[in-house]
Amino acid sequence: VQLQASGGGLVQAGGSLSLACAASGIITVRGYSMAWFRQFPGKEREWVACINNQGAGGATLYADSVEGRFTISRDNAMNMLYLLMSSLKPEDSAVYYCAAGSVCGGLTGVSTMDYWGKGTQVTVSS
């Protein structure tokens, strides 16, 4: 297992939840562009947020639907990726995945990620 996501659960609308992703093996969160995706039932997996690798400056980027509410970050020393989700809405309910790849930018998508963790369920009640 090279990416292990955790932290999902049930939260009320307006609340906050923090997801964590432990990287291991050949994956270092500083060496890869790291991202969070989510998948709604019956839908394609969609990109939520990404952070560029350290060498590319470490810039972050967010989907419009979560901009201003979600924050992606990483801890290089611990080799961890995080997603802090605030002001959660019922429509944020999904399975969330962490991923490592080569792109954090306009082309970020499922096809640009090389490694995936198992998902963690986030449920936001109204």
Tally the residues of the chain: 126
Give me the pLDDT at residue 1, please. 66
* Cα–Cα separations (whole angstroms), residue 92 to 44, 47, 116: 14, 13, 20
Per-residue model confidence as pLDDT tens digits over 57-104: 889 999 999 999 999 999 999 999 999 999 999 999 999 999 999 888
Confidence of residue 108 (pLDDT cuts 50, 70, 90): confident
What b/e readout covers 109-121, taking b as 16+ CB neighbours within 10 angstroms? ebebbebbbebbe
Q: Which two tokens stand for residue 92?
A: 């944020």
DSSP category for residue 4: E
Rounded CA separation 35/107 (Å): 12
Nearest to 30 by CA among 72, 88, 74: 74
Beta bridge partners of 69: none
Per-residue model confidence as pLDDT tens digits over 19-29: 999 999 999 99
Residue for token pair 């970050």 = 73
Nearest to 98 by CA among 5, 28, 23: 5
The DSSP element (H or E) to which 123 belongs, if any, is strand 120-125
Per-residue model confidence as pLDDT tens digits over 86-97: 999 999 999 999
Mean pLDDT to the nearest integer, 118-126: 96
Residue 90: alpha-carbon gap to chain centroid:
18
Per-residue model confidence as pLDDT tens digits over 30-57: 999 999 999 999 999 999 999 999 888 8
Give me the pLDDT at residue 74, please. 96
